[in-house]
Amino acid sequence: MGVSRRGFLKRTVAVLAATGLTGRGTEELAAAEPPDVPPWMKAPGAGFNAYGVPSRHESKVTRTFGRSQPGTTGSGAIRTPLEALEGAITPSGLHFERSHSGVPDIDPDAHRLLIHGMVKRPLIFTIEALLRYPMVSRVHFLECSGNSQLLYQPAPPSVTAGQTHGLVSGSDWTGVPLRRLLEEAGIDGGAEWILAEGADAAAMSRSIPMAKAMDDAFLALFQNGERLRPENGYPLRLFLPGWEGNMSVKWLRRLKVVPAPIMTKDETSRYTDLQRDGKSLMFTYPMEVKSVITHPSHGMTLKGAGLYQISGLAWSGNGTIKKVEITTDGGKTWRTAALTAPVLPRALTRFRLPWRWDGGATVLKSRAIDDAGNVQPEREKFIAEHGTNAVFHYNAIAAWSVAPNGEVKHVYA
């Protein structure tokens, strides 16, 4: 799990002392005058809200790049502003969104889930019936396979960390294990796959291996303690931990047990990985080990030499983050960052490292390693292996340059 919390704090204090930023002396503090009474202390504040909202001073913290694709209605994506957040849980209202034909307005009382096909007993569930089943709660990331696709382009894009990497979010999901419902229906011999279909106008559908369905898949009804938001699948979505987000079908209405993959439009015309040699990879389900420094990152400006905290997120669809290494000199040396507990499998993991900037030009990068031994690759190595024809499954190291004036920009390094 990298550096311990105690070790991280000791190292931070040492850096603070070296830079003279440990604070004013006790005599100076004792002689200090109390601050003026601010206006908000002179009158009662606002009353209660039926549903809480962020402070008006945080109105600029919004999802970004939300636009529909040409010729469509409601098809596109909107990203999480990773650089504006802390911790490893994404507020539900800032969770990224990917839709193929807009967000349907579904009446939960009228919604039904059908399980049929190669089963002994076809079943139809209401939402009310599903809410009676024993549930599990799990913290997991969800990442669109098209996340970071801007970084396939030849020149580094001039956009924020959230605009390049913001099609990933982390939540506490609660729902019913899929295995329980499939066992109730009774799976016939030779049934190796499941077709999952959503109730949006696109009838978005994917083929799911039975092995995953019987392992850790579940039907999510709640997100971060409340019912799913409409854009995240209300009233019911499939959730496949660690696998590309498109497979966790939203607004789930049908699960058909079948002997082989159906090869729907959403797994043939899209969500395949075109390689350098013109061949395409299919069924590349797990999201590979990945990390990004969110602070400092593109668009920020450091205010002079001194102590800063480097912070970011790491995740892997193949297991748990074991270590994150950070270079502050463009890759000449690497230091191990502290991982903020809890460090969970297939979940976002926050990492931190104290850094004393000397005011000179440099490059910052992070490199994640998971407990399966997978190491996040450099961009040059990733492109050499996969080419630039694809738009999916980009997981190479991201780099930020820091100029002497403190300006932080995205670079390929």
Among 235, 261, 281, identify where a domain stops: 281
Same domain, 194 and 318: no
- Asked if residues 127 and 109 have their Cβ atoms less than 8 Å apart, the reply is yes
- Asked if residues 137 and 171 have their Cβ atoms less than 8 Å apart, the reply is no
Does the residue 227 lie in any domain? yes
Chain-centroid distance of CA 225 in Å reads 18
Is pLDDT of 3 > 60? no
Same domain, 269 and 299: no
Closest to 246 (Cα-Cα) out of 222, 270, 230: 270
- Asked if residues 297 and 408 have their Cβ atoms less than 8 Å apart, the reply is yes
Is pLDDT of 111 > 50? yes
Question: What does the chain come to in residues?
Answer: 413
Cα separation, 276 vs 307, in Å, equals 43
Same domain, 176 and 212: yes
In terms of average pLDDT, the best of 61-65, 262-266, 376-380 is: 376-380
Report pLDDT digits (tens) over 229-272.
999 999 999 999 999 999 999 999 999 999 999 999 888 888 88
Is pLDDT of 25 > 70? no
In single-letter form, the type of residue at position 11 comes to R
Assign residue 373 the CATH number of its domain. 2.60.40.650
Return the pLDDT at 194.
Answer: 98
Return the pLDDT at 33.
Answer: 76
Same domain, 193 and 307: no
Does the residue 62 lie in any domain? no
- Asked if residues 314 and 351 have their Cβ atoms less than 8 Å apart, the reply is yes
Return the pLDDT at 29.
Answer: 61
Same domain, 175 and 255: yes
Kindly report which listed range (30-39, 91-100, 364-373) carries the lowest average pLDDT score: 30-39
Return the pLDDT at 75.
Answer: 84
Is pLDDT of 86 > 60? yes
Same domain, 294 and 274: no
Report pLDDT digits (tens) over 365-376.
999 999 999 999
Does the residue 72 lie in any domain? no
Lookup: tokens for 209: 């291996």
Does the residue 102 lie in any domain? no
Assign residue 254 the CATH number of its domain. 3.90.420.10
In single-letter form, the type of residue at position 391 comes to V
Return the pLDDT at 19.
Answer: 47
Cα separation, 208 vs 252, in Å, equals 13
Does the residue 390 lie in any domain? yes
Same domain, 119 and 260: yes
Domain that holds residue 385: 290-411
137, containing H or E segment:
strand 136-143
Does the residue 52 lie in any domain? no
Return the pLDDT at 273.
Answer: 87
Is pLDDT of 48 > 80? yes
Return the pLDDT at 20.
Answer: 47
- For the whole model, what pTM was predicted? 0.90
Lookup: tokens for 44: 């009662």
Strands 362-370 and 237-239: unpaired
Does the residue 188 lie in any domain? yes
Q: Average pLDDT for residues 387-398, to the nearest whole number?
A: 93
Lookup: tokens for 65: 């790049």
Among 262, 281, 300, identify where a domain stops: 281
Is pLDDT of 8 > 80? no
Same domain, 193 and 325: no
List own/partner pairs for 404-407 with CB under 8 A and 24 or more apart: 404/359, 404/360, 404/361, 405/301, 406/301, 406/302, 406/303, 406/304, 407/301
Closest to 114 (Cα-Cα) out of 254, 322, 266: 254
Give percent of the chain with pLDDT exceeding 70: 91
- Give the strand order in the sheet containing 64-68: 64-68, 76-79, 97-99
Q: Count structural domains, the chain.
A: 3
Cα separation, 219 vs 237, in Å, equals 6
Same domain, 309 and 226: no
Does the residue 87 lie in any domain? no
Same domain, 252 and 388: no
Give percent of the chain with pLDDT exceeding 90: 83
Report pLDDT digits (tens) over 315-358.
999 999 999 999 999 999 999 999 999 999 999 999 999 999 99
Closest to 346 (Cα-Cα) out of 322, 373, 369, 318: 318
Report pLDDT digits (tens) over 325-335.
999 999 999 99
Return the pLDDT at 119.
Answer: 98
Among 231, 256, 281, identify where a domain stops: 281
Same domain, 149 and 261: yes
Looking at the DSSP bridge assignments, the partners of residue 352 are: 311, 338
Q: Average pLDDT for residues 173-201, to the nearest whole number?
A: 97
Same domain, 299 and 405: yes
Return the pLDDT at 30.
Answer: 66
